Amino acid sequence: MALKDSQKKYIKKNIHRLPLSRIAENLNLEEKGVLGYLKKKWRKDKYEKFIKKNENGKRGGFELKIFLQKNSLIFAALALSVFIVYFNSLNNTFVSDDIPAIARNETTGSFKHIFLPTFLGGVQRFVYFISFHVGELNPAFYRIFNIIFHTGSVLTIFTLLNIISKKRIALMASLLFAVHPILTEPVVWISGMPYTLSTLAFLLSLLLYILAKKRLALCLSYFLFFLALVSSEKIIPLFLIFILFEFFFGSLKKNWKKLIPYFALSFSWSVLFLTKISGRINDLKTDHYQAPSENNIFLQVPAAITNYLKLIFWPQKLSLYHTEMAFSAGAYYLMLIVFLAFLGACAFAYKKNKTVFFWLAFFLIALLPTLSPLGVSWIVAERYVYLGSLGIFAVTAMGIDWLIKKSGEYNKIYKQIIYGVFAGMIIILSIRTIVRNNDCQNFAVRSQHPQ
């Protein structure tokens, strides 16, 4: 049966982004129909190379076991990179919220208090329960879970980007996520666990959704999304990521029913969260850490986005409390220009490169809950950008990959220079993270500040 022009266009757009089985399913075709079109369209060597990758589990019918075997050394290297940069943090003590939440909390080792008085945060308290019964009040046994969750996210990112992009981009983005110092706060600070735990659960949920062939895998994806929501309310808007994925890489028209549970979970959680805002505001008043007030979003959003981008590309002034957000009119206009330029880049990417737009949108969507005008969050906090930073890292990796391809067309030496610069960048970022781990010992002792 001859393919329609729309089907051919869809295959061209997604053959290097989605599994072959997913493409065939979205087009209501058999896989051999897609392969038949590719065989006619491609050169013989290109088609045979694709078939070989397909048989090895790279495309169509992604086989996790085969993928792990083929990339075991890369997985080990990524895990080792995390261990190297965070090893010196294991000797850190309890700081800030860790003290009232763990060290002085009589219920830390009590099983009956894991999901009481509220289910929210129950997974985190369960981890504390395990840590207490393994190492009592040794901070290393609590912090090691954050490092494990961070490692899991790094490995999931590599797998995820391998499927929807390519290995070089996946490796560079996952390396940046592994060692970047802006991510130190939620990893080293034990009370930052909601960020590391919810991020891992969300990324696994997204990965399973993309790979799901059977209902069981899809249900597990729903459960992991629920687990992410239970761990952090900042996951609420991330149902939009699934919609964006289908819109750009899948078939929203065909798969919209699969997205309903993500929306339903997010909607239910947002209602529950709104009922607790008044209690959070009262806590802020009584604990006097931040006077709740309505933020001007026209000031807040450009300032927040610009500062996050600055901290990602120049992570020098890192701090647990970015409270000094007063700025002159000139500084504000400069931040506004940067913010508008970022929005312009998003608009340009939407027209020219949907994958770049997806990851730029990922960055913004992950930050949405912290851009609230209600004054219940800091304007800027490094932990807020933990998940969202992936969007910038992915776009950065894509940019470097483009430079490598372009340089190879002229001189292979240029390609080696780019690889060398990237390696140097990873080393510098790693050193900065190791130093930052020591800084985290000086976190001020505060409790119940905005999360």
d(CA 33, CA 250): 18
Per-residue pLDDT of 237-259, as tens digits, reads 999 999 999 998 888 888 999 99
Whether the CB-CB separation of 151 and 163 falls below 8 Å is answered with no
Q: What share of the chain is helix, strand, coil (3-state, %, to 5)?
A: 75, 0, 25
| Highest mean pLDDT pick, 16-30, 126-140, 281-295 | 126-140
Q: Across all residues in the chain, what is the average pLDDT?
A: 86
Q: At what angle do helices 167-179 and 140-164 cross, to 10 degrees?
A: 160
Of 446, 425, 213, nearest to 319 (Cα)?
446
d(CA 378, CA 384): 9
Handedness of CA 39, 12, 26, 159 (dihedral sign): positive
Whether the CB-CB separation of 203 and 157 falls below 8 Å is answered with yes
Whether the CB-CB separation of 225 and 262 falls below 8 Å is answered with yes
Percent of the chain beyond pLDDT 70?
Answer: 86
Q: How large is the average pLDDT for residues 214-240? A: 94
Helix (H) or strand (E) holding 160: helix 140-164
Q: What is the pTM of this model?
A: 0.86
Per-residue pLDDT of 410-449, as tens digits, reads 677 888 999 999 999 999 999 999 999 988 776 644 444 4
Per-residue pLDDT of 380-399, as tens digits, reads 889 999 999 999 999 999 99
Is pLDDT at 54 greater than 80 in this prediction?
Answer: no
d(CA 290, CA 323): 9
pLDDT of residue 96: 82
Which range has the worst mean pLDDT, 113-127, 143-157, 332-346?
Answer: 113-127
Which DSSP state fits 56? Answer: T
pLDDT of residue 271: 87
Alpha carbon of residue 323 to chain centroid: 25
d(CA 347, CA 37): 33
pLDDT of residue 447: 40
pLDDT of residue 448: 44
When pLDDT is cut at 50, 70 and 90, the band that residue 56 belongs to is very low
Which range has the worst mean pLDDT, 209-213, 305-309, 415-419?
Answer: 209-213
Maximum CA extent, the chain: 71
Q: How large is the average pLDDT for residues 204-218? A: 91
To which residue do tokens 């609230």 refer? 372
Of 196, 180, 182, nearest to 307 (Cα)?
182
Residue 441 vs residues 100, 157, 272: alpha-carbon distances, Å: 16, 29, 35
Is pLDDT at 450 greater than 60 in this prediction?
Answer: no
